[in-house]
Chains A and B, each alone.
Chain A
């Protein structure tokens, strides 16, 4: 299994540009999440999904959109990039509440710089 994969690994955008960060998992996990990590800080939840067709906002959703059309994929869209969105973005997945399997599996991250 590849686990959780993210593309691209690095991206530089100009203010106002849009882009999509890709995330895919091959573990048939129900739950998927997007986090951002800023220097010296923990992870903050942007959006999450508890299954295909179901998404909800996390702690810092402004400026981001998500959709979940399949179990495997959970793309994150930046609508109009701003310098405040410069961060490292992590995608994670888990079985959710099934059998008490709460462990989250993380992708390698996408390092985004907005100029």
Chain B
């Protein structure tokens, strides 16, 4: 079963615009992570936010977490062509060793 559900499934924007993608989950978590996957590659960790945090920044990335709504969002500011990828959220509701991934948001940045 998929714990995280990303929205939208696909997003296409112009270079320089901001991209926002959302993740909802069903059961309580200790932390939530976001990963990026370039076409044909493995996943790369972007950022982790703990359940007692509401917002976290890393470069052009901003992640928010609302545990009352069981949702998280990933904002990429000033998008670049190199940001074109699929983005996945992952939760540890079943334990740190059993991450559960959502289906992902496919982001396309148009030059």
Which A residues form the contact surface with B (CB < 8 A)?
Answer: 4, 31, 33, 35, 40-45, 48, 50, 58-59, 90, 92, 94, 96-97, 102-109
Contacts and interface: CB of A to CB of B under 8 A. Distances in A.
B60 interface: no
Interface size for chain B: under 10, 10 to 19, 20 to 34, or 35 or more residues? 20 to 34
A107 to B, nearest CB: 6
Interface string B78-111: 0000000000101010001111111110000000
Main secondary structure on B side of the interface with A: loop
Interface in B1-38: 1-2, 4, 31, 33, 35
A88 B45 CA distance: 19
29 contacts: A31-B96, A31-B97, A33-B97, A33-B98, A33-B99, A41-B103, A42-B2, A42-B4, A42-B88, A42-B103, A45-B98, A45-B100, A48-B97, A58-B98, A59-B100, A90-B43, A92-B43, A94-B96, A94-B97, A96-B96, A102-B31, A103-B48, A104-B35, A104-B43, A104-B90, A106-B42, A107-B42, A108-B42, A109-B41
B61 to A, nearest CB: 15
Contact of A106 (B43, B98, B102): B43
A43 B88 contact: yes
B95 to A, nearest CB: 9
B43 A102 contact: no
B44 A106 contact: yes
Given A43-B43, A90-B43, A104-B43, 12 more contacts: A31-B97, A33-B98, A33-B99, A42-B2, A42-B102, A43-B88, A45-B98, A59-B1, A59-B100, A94-B97, A96-B96, A102-B96
